[in-house]
Homo-oligomer: A and B are copies of this chain.
Amino acid sequence: MIALASNNKRVCLLGGGSFGTAVARIVASNLSNSESSRAHTFHPTLNLWVRRQSLVDEINNTNENSEYLPGCPIPSNVVANSDVGTVLDGADVVIVGIPHTYITNEMLKAVKERCNQSADVVHVVSLVKGIYYDEDSKVLTRVSEFLDQSLNAGTTKGHSPKFVISLVMGANVYDQMGRDEFAESTLACPTPDDAPMLHSIFHDPDRFHISLTPDVAGVEFCGILKNVVALGVGYAVGSEWGSNTQAAIIRRGLKEIVKFAKTYGGDMVEDETFFESAGVADLMTTCFGGRGRRLASAFVKHDGKLGWRELEKEVLGGQQIPDWHNAQMVYKFLEAKGSTDSFPFFCAVYRVGFQNADPSLILEVLKI
């Protein structure tokens, strides 16, 4: 029997898309697993925010999300709700699994006001790979920084919880996770004392093997920038350049990821991070099989005459991906910093995608 003491931590997840649902299946299983509850006590329910009521009903009534993760049973302790406040009520751990462009002020207000107000710390775990760039202030903000700033703004100690932002990122294609195939991932938690508790929420030795690091910036930059690299590989595929050239592109991309993360990610960025699942493993998976690769290949096949939104419709049935948005943000930031020369590959990806440069510009960069 699972103890239901009042100090059991409550966990919720925002987002019922493909990846959110895949993670929900694992987290829910861990929350109801008495073994993991021994060390850390959790309320056995995973509250799941899903925007559309029809999907809420399907998940609660049939234990399936047929639209985003068909054929993959969802544990019965997942309770979906379309009201974000209700889902957040009393939460000690909030997992954010929606695209960063869908994170609204209303949602952030609900996180601040509805999560466990008597806790010293509420953990927010972002699954979201994204960045914001402000053209006026020329500041690049990772999603975890945005969440940190938004949620901790105006917080007075003793009055409301401090929000600690962690990340779970890795080589995690959702449909394989839905089939319970083995995957590994990286949990970046800035407060190492809390890492074991969060680890027990996500880690499943048989299907979701989690490694720990305190390096939030390194992990997040890997997640953001690998999408830029994947576009470069896609240009190569569209140009019919073979695996030697593609490998050279990925390697050059990795070198610029490391340099970018170390230059703009602060002193905490560690070499070890790039050997984690969120590093080289996710980079490979994304570059060899990701949607950005397919999109950028189609971009070249159309001689750059179809816009990225149109390509998403043609190639991905309208699914929106962050890759080309990230390429834009990174370029604009580097341009404002006067640092385009230091990152010629990232800039070439942008110039091909947005300034009508010929894809062969990628090769010119490799020859430097």
Q: Chain A interface (Cβ within 8 Å of chain B)?
A: 171-173, 176-177, 179, 181-184, 205-206, 209, 241-248, 250-251, 254-255, 258, 271, 275-277, 280-282, 284-285, 288-289, 363, 366-367
Contact B289–A243 (Cβ < 8 Å): yes
Shortest distance between the CB of A41 and any CB in chain B (Å): 25
Shortest distance between the CB of A362 and any CB in chain B (Å): 9
Cβ of A367: which chain B residues have Cβ within 8 Å of it? 182, 205-206, 209
Q: Among B243, B275, B284, B366, point to the contact of A176 (Cβ < 8 A).
A: B243
12 A-B contacts, Cβ less than 8 Å apart?
A171-B248, A173-B244, A176-B244, A182-B245, A183-B244, A184-B247, A209-B367, A250-B280, A250-B281, A254-B275, A258-B275, A284-B284
Measured CA separation A275–B253 after assembly (Å):
11
The A interface is mostly helix, strand or loop, or mixed, namely helix
Contact B280–A280 (Cβ < 8 Å): yes
Cβ of A246: which chain B residues have Cβ within 8 Å of it? 285
Contact B248–A183 (Cβ < 8 Å): yes
Measured CA separation A25–B171 after assembly (Å):
39
Closest to A174 in B: B244
Shortest distance between the CB of A150 and any CB in chain B (Å): 31
Contact A366–B281 (Cβ < 8 Å): no
Shortest distance between the CB of A207 and any CB in chain B (Å): 9
Measured CA separation A239–B258 after assembly (Å):
34
Cβ of A243: which chain B residues have Cβ within 8 Å of it? 171, 173, 176, 285, 288-289
Most buried by B among A184, A205, A241, A255: A184
Given contacts A209-B367, A275-B255, contact A248 B288 (CB under 8 A): no
Given contacts A280-B280, A281-B251, contact A244 B205 (CB under 8 A): no
Shortest distance between the CB of A152 and any CB in chain B (Å): 34
Closest 3 pairs between A and B when the two form their complex, measured CB to CB? A183-B244, A171-B247, A176-B242
Q: Among B171, B176, B247, B258, point to the contact of A281 (Cβ < 8 A).
A: B247
Measured CA separation A139–B248 after assembly (Å):
34
Most buried by B among A181, A275, A289: A181
Contact A241–B182 (Cβ < 8 Å): yes
Q: Among B182, B245, B254, point to the contact of A248 (Cβ < 8 A).
A: B182
Shortest distance between the CB of A20 and any CB in chain B (Å): 17
Measured CA separation A273–B96 after assembly (Å):
37
Given contacts A280-B254, A284-B284, A363-B182, contact A244 B171 (CB under 8 A): yes
Q: Among B205, B206, B245, B276, point to the contact of A181 (Cβ < 8 A).
A: B245
Shortest distance between the CB of A322 and any CB in chain B (Å): 19
Cβ of A206: which chain B residues have Cβ within 8 Å of it? 367
Contact A248–B281 (Cβ < 8 Å): yes
Q: Among B245, B250, B275, point to the contact of A251 (Cβ < 8 A).
A: B275
Shortest distance between the CB of A171 and any CB in chain B (Å): 4
Shortest distance between the CB of A323 and any CB in chain B (Å): 17
Shortest distance between the CB of A209 and any CB in chain B (Å): 6
Measured CA separation A363–B183 after assembly (Å):
10
Closest to A360 in B: B182
Shortest distance between the CB of A304 and any CB in chain B (Å): 20
Q: Among B250, B258, B282, B366, point to the contact of A247 (Cβ < 8 A).
A: B282
Shortest distance between the CB of A243 and any CB in chain B (Å): 5
